[in-house]
C-alpha cells in the first residue's frame, strides 16, 4: 500500500514538474507579457455616490483602493514617486469609479471634449467587457474634468481605427482639486475624480454588456505624468535638445509588460460581487491559464512575421508542443495557418471546450458546430 502511494505521489510530482517545465519553455522570452494581471472585486451598492469629485462620502468607504500604481513595464522598474489609486462600486445600472491622484503641481490646459487629453497629465480607464481584446472602450480625464472617450473595434497593433466620435452616453464626471490648478506659487496635494457610467453606454451598436454577480470584465487604469518646469509663472513640459517634449511617464494599476496600454489581454480582472467585496475572493478562471498558451502562440507568430513578413505554418516551428498540462488537466494546442493568416486552438480533453485566437488577437470560445462568440 505504501509503495503504491509513493509511486502515485512520484507520478503526480513528475506531471507537475513536467507541466511547469513545458510552460517555462513555451513562455521563455515572453515572461513579461504572460504574468497574471491583478484583480479587483467590486462591491454592489443600492445607493449611488454623489458625483461631485469629493470621495469622502460614506458610500465610498465600503470600496477598497487598488494597489498603488506601478510603472507600465512592471514592478522591476522604479516605483512612481507619486501615488495613484482607483476604487469602484456598481449598481444594477451603473459603474462608479473614484480616483485619487497625488500631485504637488496640479495643472491642465485642454478644455475641449475629445481633445487628446493625455497631452496633459491625466488618468485613464480601459474597459473590455467581453474579454475578447476587441470592441473595447477608453476614457481619459484631466485635472479640470476634460474628457476624451473613444471606442476601439480592435487594438492599434491590429490596425484598429479608434472612433473618438463615440461618447459615453449618460456618463457623469467631476473633479476636485486639493490645492489650486495652474498656480506654480503653491504646493498642492493633488486631485480626486468621480465617474458614474451607465452600463448601457458600453455598447458598440449591439446590445449593451450588463454584468451580474460573478461577471468578470477586463480593465486597467493608467496615469500619464509629464515632467515640467515653471517659466514666466506657467508650467511648461521639459524638452530635449531638439525641442521635442521629453517622453511622458506611464503608471498603471497592473503591469502591461511594455509601454503600450492597447494590449487588452494584459489588463486586470474586475469581478462583480452582489454584496460586499470583502465577502468574495477572486479566483483566476481556468480558461485564463489556457489562454496564456494562445497568447504565447500569437506573440511568437507576430515576432516571426515582423522579421519575415509571413507566419509559421507548423506549431513545432514556434517551439510549442501540441500537448500541454494545465492545472493537472490535459489540453491539446493546435494551429491552422497559411503564410498570411493563422488561428490557434486550445482544448481541454475532458470537457472538450475550445478557445481560439486569430492573427488579429481576437479571442473566442468555440461552440459545437464551429460557432464562435
- Point out the least confidently predicted range of 36-45, 246-255, 270-279: 270-279
Residue 197 CA: distances (Å) to CA of 7, 56, 119, 153, 213:
57, 19, 24, 20, 18
pLDDT at 11 over 50: no
The DSSP-derived string for 303-324 is HHHHHHSS--S-GGGGT--SEE
The predicted model scores a pTM of 0.91
Report pLDDT for 20.
46
pLDDT at 5 over 70: no
Question: Percent of the chain beyond pLDDT 70?
Answer: 90
Looking at the DSSP bridge assignments, the partners of residue 322 are none
Report pLDDT for 24.
61
Interstrand relation of 216-225 and 122-128 (parallel, antiparallel or unpaired): antiparallel
pLDDT at 369 over 90: no
Residue from 245, 250, 252 nearest 229 by CA: 245
Report pLDDT for 212.
94
pLDDT at 84 over 60: yes
298, 4 contact by CB (below 8 A):
no
Report the pLDDT averaged over residues 69-88.
97
Report pLDDT for 368.
56
Report pLDDT for 329.
97
Mutual angle of helices 2-27 and 286-308, in 10-degree steps = 40
Which domains are delineated in the chain?
Answer: 16-31+285-366 (no CATH), 37-279 (2.60.40.1190)
pLDDT at 204 over 80: no
pLDDT at 109 over 80: yes
**If you ran DSSP here, which 8-state letter would residue 135 be given?**
S
Query: What are phi and psi for residue 17, nearest 5 degrees?
Result: -70, -30
* Share of the chain residues as helix, strand and coil, in percent rounded to the nearest 5: 20, 30, 45
Residue 158 CA: distances (Å) to CA of 98, 258, 263:
31, 16, 10
Report pLDDT for 23.
56
Report the pLDDT averaged over residues 33-52.
97
Report pLDDT for 252.
98
Tens of pLDDT, residues 315-367: 999 999 999 999 999 999 999 999 999 999 999 999 999 999 999 999 999 86
CA distance 68 to 353: 37
| H-type alpha helices, the chain | 2-27, 286-308
What's the chain's average pLDDT?
92
Report pLDDT for 122.
98
Query: What are phi and psi for residue 98, nearest 5 degrees?
Result: -125, 145
Which position has the higher pLDDT, 15 or 56?
56
Query: What are phi and psi for residue 71, nearest 5 degrees?
Result: -65, 145
Report the SS3 class of residue 190.
strand
Question: Given pLDDT bands bounded at 50, 70 and 90, which one contains residue 278?
Answer: confident
Report CA torsion sign: 250, 282, 138, 363.
Answer: positive
Amino acid at each position: 500500500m505504501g509503495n503504491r502511494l509513493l509511486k502515485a505521489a512520484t507520478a503526480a510530482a513528475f506531471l507537475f514538474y513536467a507541466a511547469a517545465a513545458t510552460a517555462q519553455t513555451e513562455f521563455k522570452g515572453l515572461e513579461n507579457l504572460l504574468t497574471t494581471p491583478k484583480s479587483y472585486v467590486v462591491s454592489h451598492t443600492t445607493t449611488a455616490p454623489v458625483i461631485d469629485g469629493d470621495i469622502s462620502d460614506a458610500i465610498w468607504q465600503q470600496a477598497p483602493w487598488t494597489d498603488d500604481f506601478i510603472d507600465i513595464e512592471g514592478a522591476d522598474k522604479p516605483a512612481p514617486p507619486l501615488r495613484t489609486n482607483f476604487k469602484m462600486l456598481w449598481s444594477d445600472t451603473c459603474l462608479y469609479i473614484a480616483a485619487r491622484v497625488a500631485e504637488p503641481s496640479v495643472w491642465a490646459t485642454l478644455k475641449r471634449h475629445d481633445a487628446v487629453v493625455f497631452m496633459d497629465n491625466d488618468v485613464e480607464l480601459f474597459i473590455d467587457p467581453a474579454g475578447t481584446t476587441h470592441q473595447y472602450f477608453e476614457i481619459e480625464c484631466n485635472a479640470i474634468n476634460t474628457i476624451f472617450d473613444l471606442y476601439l473595434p480592435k487594438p492599434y497593433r491590429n490596425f484598429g481605427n479608434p472612433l473618438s466620435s463615440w461618447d459615453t452616453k449618460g456618463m457623469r464626471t467631476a473633479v476636485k482639486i486639493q490645492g489650486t490648478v495652474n498656480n506654480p506659487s503653491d504646493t498642492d496635494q493633488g486631485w480626486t475624480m468621480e465617474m458614474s457610467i451607465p452600463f448601457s453606454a458600453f455598447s458598440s451598436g449591439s446590445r449593451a454588456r450588463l454584468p451580474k454577480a460573478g461577471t468578470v470584465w477586463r480593465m486597467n487604469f493608467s496615469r500619464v505624468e509629464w515632467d515640467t518646469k515653471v517659466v514666466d509663472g506657467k508650467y511648461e513640459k521639459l524638452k530635449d535638445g531638439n525641442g521635442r517634449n521629453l517622453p511622458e511617464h506611464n503608471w498603471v494599476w497592473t503591469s502591461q509588460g511594455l509601454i503600450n496600454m492597447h494590449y487588452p489581454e494584459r489588463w486586470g480582472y474586475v469581478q462583480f460581487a452582489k454584496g460586499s467585496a470583502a465577502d468574495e475572493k477572486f479566483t483566476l478562471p481556468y480558461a485564463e491559464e489556457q489562454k496564456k498558451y494562445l497568447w504565447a502562440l500569437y506573440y511568437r507568430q507576430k515576432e516571426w512575421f515582423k522579421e519575415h513578413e509571413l507566419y509559421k505554418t507548423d506549431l513545432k516551428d514556434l517551439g510549442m508542443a501540441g500537448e500541454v498540462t494545465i492545472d493537472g488537466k490535459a489540453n491539446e494546442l493546435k494551429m491552422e495557418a497559411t503564410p498570411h493568416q493563422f488561428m490557434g486552438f486550445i482544448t481541454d480533453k475532458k470537457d472538450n471546450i475550445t478557445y481560439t485566437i486569430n492573427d488579429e488577437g481576437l479571442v473566442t470560445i468555440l461552440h459545437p458546430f464551429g460557432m464562435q462568440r
